[in-house]
Amino acid sequence: MRFIDTLDLSRFIFVADRGMCATPNLLHLLDHNNGYIISKSIKKCKKPDKEWILDNEGYIQKGNDFKQKSRTVKYKVSDPANPKKKREIVEKQVVYWSRKFYEREKAANKSFLEFVEKVRESPENSRITAIQAKSIKKYLRKEVLNKETGELIDSKTICSMLDDGKINAETELIGYYMVITSEVNMTDDEIIDTYHKLSRIEDQFRVMKGAFDARPIFVRKEEHISSHLLICMISLMVLRIIQQRIVEYQKTHTKDCKQTNLWEMGLSANRIQSALNKWTIDRLPGD
């Protein structure tokens, strides 16, 4: 936050991921008449907040793959400078469910979900090592491990040890995402789109370092490095134009054009690069 204080701006909106979602940071921004749009970990939310997130009431459905809702809340926090003093924060909470996010999270938790299903179907054939027990510790009611082998003393107790309540509470939240903001007058779409511009910026670096090999490993002279980076920047600009044209085409030629998310990029950089590499040019008769 010290670097932000040096910016010569009358007011700005700080956009960041959940790592910056801390009370001192929010109060610091508000105290300097600035705003914020920051993602918040749903898993760390309080029970009433999770119940609101999972409640279908209030959601606006946008096609079959996306829904969103929001609310404005007021809550008290302790002042970092004076813990006995309470401060009030007024913010808008936007929560959405995305099928793409759901599939990505589900894939990330695939091994754990398959393990739980295997235990439920055949507990007598299941074994949990000490390492596995550590990774799923929060889903177990208690641990009964053999200290020498690291396995459960009685494998038949695995099912009874699994806390279905905790597991279900975790899996129910798959696909949901929350963004909080001080800008209570912004629309939900504006808030979501502004936040996802952060991922666009991150994506620029991924594309530059990945598909375009922007790191000047094979050039040494300063003019060659500058030329290499210039080519990469021009390529990135052309790529973004292609992606934007794809999005515009989808909006005008698909039935769900109105439901197209504002941050969609049409096709990934790798897919476009792969398609362009397959292009061929033939000389026509008479040319």
Pairing of strands 176-181, 60-61: unpaired
Task: Scan for tokens 């898993």, then name that residue.
Answer: 43
Q: Which tokens hold the place of 196?
A: 């996802």
Going from N- to C-terminal start, the domains of the chain cover 2-102+175-186, 103-171, 200-280
Using alpha carbons only, give the angle 197, 198, 202 rounded to the nearest 5 degrees. 115
Spacing of C-alpha 10 from chain mean position: 30
Residue 184: the pLDDT is: 96
Indicate the Cα dihedral angle 36, 39, 42, 44, nearest 10°: -70
- The answer to pTM > 0.75 is no
Euclidean distance between CA atoms 19 and 24, whole angstroms: 13
pLDDT at 240: 85
What's the CA gap between 27 and 30, in Å, rounded?
A: 5
Q: How far apart are CA 173 and CA 55, in angstroms?
A: 11
Q: What is the mean pLDDT of each run of 10 residues along the chain (287 residues)?
A: 70 88 90 93 91 95 93 93 90 95 82 69 59 58 53 52 66 91 95 86 78 81 89 88 84 60 64 85 79
Grouping H, G, I as helix, E, B as strand and the rest as coil, residue 198 is: helix
Q: What percent of the chain is helix, strand and coil (3-state, nearest 5)?
A: 50, 20, 35
**The pLDDT of residue 175:** 92
- Can you give the pLDDT at residue 155? 46
